[in-house]
Structure 1
Amino acid sequence: MAGLAGTGSNPDVDLLYDINGLAKDAPQWFDRGMEFVGEWGLLAAMVLLVVWCWWSVRRRGGEDAASSVAALVWAPLAAAVAVLVNVPIRGFVERPRPFVAHEDLDVLIGGKTDYSFVSDHATLTMAMGVGLFVANRKFGLVGIGIALLEGFCRVYMGVHYPTDVIGGFALGTAVVLLLSPLAMALLTPVVQAVERSERVGWVIRARGSAGGQGRVIPGAQVEAEPEERDLAA
């Protein structure tokens, strides 16, 4: 099915040239920055965003802390599952990289000898972005924005067609949403067990956070409220 590579004029190739053409007009320092951002920078930013979301959920606490952390755990796991699902897809489609069929592209990074459809980077970042959205909408919107920027960078660098990126977005989103009910059913009890642990419970909920204040500490004396002391008198 290598025919997906595209020959002649079509919207996929036209958009590829439009976006990659920006790299030809940009200064070299900007292209080097886009190369780093598109290959590693945005992936690192997504990981940091997941950690930041975990820290926020952990400090806030609440009754849904365990389910929120379980959803956060699912985000990187879903990304890994989506990349594994992509292995047979790439082998079946066998779409060459765009610079194989279009030698006049400005390719910012070399060494890409594997197939092009679908983009692993787009799949990873969108899976984590949608997974974050399941856990926390505010962080999830930022994550989806990072994924969209990652897709743009892959086309800008000349290593993927736009449809490679769109396919990655679809694959990452599908894996997260379709497997989310099963994943949450399996992960939530595990996270709740961790939350009850004296040693590692801090991973789920910070001490003194909302929802953790109602726990009774053995041997601790609780001072009565003023109204209760008056009634007792």
Structure 2
Amino acid sequence: MDFFLFQEINNLAGQWKILDYFGIFCAEYLIFLMATAVIILFLTRGDSSETKKENILKVSLSVVGSYLLKIVIQLFYFRPRPFVDHEVVKLIDKSSSSAAFPSGHTIVAFALAFSIFYYNKKLGALFIFLATLVSLGRIYTGVHYPLDVVFGIIVAWITVYAIGKMPWKKLINRFIQK
């Protein structure tokens, strides 16, 4: 089923240049626009200094924590990228030695999106949509299977949820306000 879904999405690649450019943009560059938007959002909002610090810390720990979890997972499980084992339309040049599972781009995009969702539901919904475009772009361009991105979403959600449950007031008082 995983490979079937991969083929259904990836077989669209290479047929329309405009769709290929959009897929590459989503897969490679959209995540940087998302991160920039998050930084601008937190710097321009009228929140108190303490609230800004707390939100920046939560988002940062969510992104870094979920990415570190990805690295740990890849120490124990290696899944080759689709183009290593199959004939695929590959639009992004990736090393065949790098692991596909779980998708790091998906993890970071959804860690940002879920963090923003806890902060602002409407804006978070937009970020979840953008993160979904990143994930679909990773499949479309031939560098990830659907399960790579699904598991990336799960890793991001678990990490953001755990970070959200931490006792932030105590941590901020202890580490930031000294």
With normalisation by structure 2, the TM-score equals 0.87
The aligned runs of 1:1-233 (5 Å cut-off) are 11-27=1-17, 29-39=18-28, 41-58=29-46, 61=47, 66-67=50-51, 69-103=53-87, 105-112=88-95, 113-182=97-166, 184-185=168-169, 188-189=172-173, 193=177
What's the CA shift for 1:51?
2.3
Give the distance between the partners of 1:99 and 1:185, measured in 2 at CA: 47
CA deviation profile, 1:93-136 (whole Å, cap 9, x unmatched): 21111111112x10001232311110000000101111111222
Unaligned runs of 5+ in 2: none
Change (3 A) 1:49 1:191: farther
**Aligned-pair Cα RMSD in Å:** 2.3
CA contact (8 A) 1:54 1:69 kept: no
Unaligned runs of 5+ in 1: 1-10, 195-233
Give the distance between the partners of 2:132 and 2:174, measured in 1 at CA: 32
What's the CA shift for 1:83?
0.8
What's the CA shift for 1:187?
5.1
Change (3 A) 1:192 1:77: closer
**Paired residue type of 1:114:** S
Identity %, equivalent residues: 28
Between stretches 162-171 and 70-79, larger displacement belongs to: 70-79
Counterpart of 2:143 in 1: which secondary structure? coil
Q: Provide the aligned length of Structure 1 versus Structure 2.
A: 177
Considering Cα pairs closer than 8 Å and 6+ residues apart, tell me whether 1 or 2 has the greater RCO: 2
Give the distance between the partners of 1:77 and 1:50, measured in 2 at CA: 14
